[in-house]
Structure 1
Amino acid sequence: MALFSNIRADLKTYGGQWSQQGFWVMIVYRYGRWRYGIKNSVLRKPFSLLYRFFYKVVQILTGIELPCEVPVGRNFRIDHFGDIVISGYASFGDDCIIRNGVTVGLKNIEEKAAPKIGNNVNIGAGAKLLGNITIGDNVDVGANAVIISSVPANSIAVGIPARIIPKKS
């Protein structure tokens, strides 16, 4: 039942717009997370096969790669579709928004660590967040920013490489 309550919450996050491509991604993501709850590996195999099929279909249709291994918080929103890549090692807090062209991933292939995103983070179009970094709560990431070091809470990160600006209270 948690699967359906999560999907209902996601639909609410998308304003009831079931036609949003980000919502389609979230349905497949929630299904992928749900299948891990099936303890018997023999029973889980057909569900896993179905997940891999739907994951690839949604990836092709939307251009969004969100593996089910990524923990995401409540009200996670993919605001625009296309060219979004999220590493399976990343994590997101509550109330995060990402836009088209965003990459949240590994800095290099040898280091299997991706960004840990806090709560209430707004990631602008084309931003790249790479490596074993932490993005604090209440952070705005500007469009096309490249972030390769941690960003403290209540900040704005803009530029290449990103420059950190404290938010005015």
Structure 2
Amino acid sequence: MFDNLREDWRTYERDPARQGLWVMVVYRFGRWRYGIRPRLLRVPFSFLYKLLKPVSEILTGIELPCEVTLGRRFRIDHFGGIIISGDVVFGDDCVIRNGVTVGLRHTGHRGSPVIGNRVDIGAGAKILGPIHIGDDVAIGANAVVITDVPSNSIAVGIPARILPRKDRNQAAPVEIAAATTQMEAVI
């Protein structure tokens, strides 16, 4: 738990005023208590978690149950209106913003999203149902994602359209050539 908290501290730029950090502390504590054996020793920690969780939800507007599986360096950029279902799985280096919902599509139907590494989720986005979001994906603001999204894509709109992500390395040679031409013109 303490290694994860140190990494969260660095992820949130060592700023104790970030509400996302507060939620992560409660989340890490909730996960940690499951490892306490025997059950009798775990009871007071579970009681404390059940007190801390609603307090953090009221103060931050972020619902992050300890049953969610988070990768490393998970970051909540803006607080408020964030709801994450208990069986969602996030990969490493994911970022979410305010108003995001990640969870079940229909009540009573099991299955929540599995989100890959380096996924950036825009404000107000909804990711619903038993879908898979690949690595290096950007979900646009207010997008409603109800189908799988392949790696290196962008999902925008309602319902979300999947667009290929432009490779950043393709633009670099053109920019270098233009800069070289400008420098030659000066010389």
- Name the TM tier (shorter chain): over 0.9
The alpha-carbon deviation at position 43 of structure 1 amounts to 0.8
State yes or no: 1:73 paired with 2:54.
no
Shift of 1:39: 1.9
Per-residue deviation, 1:168: 1.4
Deviations 1:12-65 (A, max 9, x none): 001111110000000000000000010211111110010011011000000000
Whichever residue aligns with residue 10 of structure 1, its letter is: D
Structure-1 residue corresponding to 2:57: 59
User: Which residue pairs with 2:172 in the alignment?
Assistant: none
Structure 2 spans left out of the alignment, 5+ residues:
168-187
1:132 Cα deviation after fit = 0.2
Question: Partner letter of residue 16 of structure 2?
Answer: W
Distance across 1 between alignment mates of 2:134 and 2:32? 28
Mapping for residues 12-161 of structure 1, pairs under 5 Å: 12-161=10-159
TM (normalized to structure 1)?
A: 0.98
Shift of 1:107: 0.4
Structure 1 Cα separation of the partners of residues 37 and 163 of structure 2 = 47
Partner SS state of residue 18, structure 1: coil
Output the aligned Cα RMSD.
0.6
What's the CA shift for 1:110?
2.0
Question: Which structure would you say has the larger Rg?
Answer: 2
| Structure-1 separation of matches of 2:109 and 2:132 | 15
Paired letter, 2:33 = R
Question: Greater CA deviation, 110-119 or 142-151?
Answer: 110-119
Q: What SS does the aligned partner of 1:67 have?
A: coil
Q: Counterparts of 1:125 and 1:168 in 2: how far apart (Å)?
A: 21
Distance in 2 between residues matched to 1:141 and 1:110, nearest whole Å: 26
Report the AA paired with residue 93 of structure 1.
Answer: G
- Cα offset for 1:4? 1.4
Cα distance in 1 between the residues matched to 2:43 and 2:12: 31
2:8 to 3, 7, 10: 10
Query: For residues 38 and 81 of structure 2, what CA distance do their matches in structure 1 show?
Result: 35
Structure 1 residue aligned with 2:160? 162
Q: In the alignment, residue 32 of structure 1 is paired with which amino acid?
A: G
- Following superposition, the deviation at residue 5 of structure 1 comes to 1.4
Which residue identity lines up with residue 36 of structure 2 in the other structure?
I
**Cα distance between partner residues in 2 of 1:89 and 1:111:** 12
Tell me the TM-score normalized by structure 2.
Answer: 0.88
Deviation >4 Å, runs of 4+: none
